[in-house]
Amino acid sequence: MQKKETVNINGTEIVFYKKDQEDFISLTDIAKVRDDNNPSQIISLWLRTYSTIEYLGLWEKLNNTVFKPHIYEGFKNESAKPHFWMSPQKWINETNAIGIISKSGRYGGGTYAHSDIAFKFAAWISAEFELYLITEFKRLKNEEQKAIGWNAKRELSKINYRIHTDAIKSNLVSGRTSSTAWHSQESCTKKKTLCSMCLKWLKKNSN
């Protein structure tokens, strides 16, 4: 998946993007399935339910070391009352939440959420839409993995070429003879070096 990508699901454009190697999806875009003119109100309606607050709090406890659980507990208790209301900004600012992001601005602004949370919101909107969203998300992840695999092969080819040319240069400078013992030792060294460089590259570029 690219840094930011827009896909069309049943006529609705949904923005996906990556932040710190985590996948986020636009809740604002998903909410437009229910109400194209006032998506922020749809998000707030979802946020005010007890089950939503409970889920968000549990997610933050598992993934966020600076989350404020005591504030969350207060919100959870209040969510059982009819007058309770919640906005993305209030949730983020008062609990130090990281699973939901609120962006301002005419272009690219709106509310985004980690894919775990976005799927939960999509299910609240429509079970059918949730399944379409998950299917599209899986497709993008498969394309991402294929791209990583292709880049890995290309990098391995570069590394292998560099190892071979360096070995040849070293042999010419030192004036070594091409004995069987030397070739065997050199082959072992190249394989070890290649494996080490491969592991470092894969660790750096894996999610």
What is the per-residue pLDDT across 42-74, written as a single tens digit (0 to 9) for each? Answer: 999 999 999 999 999 999 999 999 999 999 999
Pick 180 or 77 by higher pLDDT. 77
Examine the pLDDT at 182 and tell me if it is beyond 50: no
DSSP single-letter state for residue 3:
S
Q: What is the helix (H) or strand (E) element at residue 63, kind and residue range?
A: helix 50-63
pLDDT value at residue 154: 62
Q: How far apart are CA 103 and CA 31, in angstroms?
A: 15
Q: Tokens in use for 150? A: 């292709």
The rounded Cα 48 to chain-centroid distance in angstroms is 26
- What pLDDT is recorded for position 145? 83
Tell me the two tokens of residue 83. 């007058």
pLDDT band at 176 (very low <50, low <70, confident <90, very high): low
Distances (CA, A) of 62 to 55, 67, 153, 155: 11, 10, 35, 35
Position 45, amino acid: L
pLDDT above 70 for 192: no
Q: What is the pTM of this model?
A: 0.70
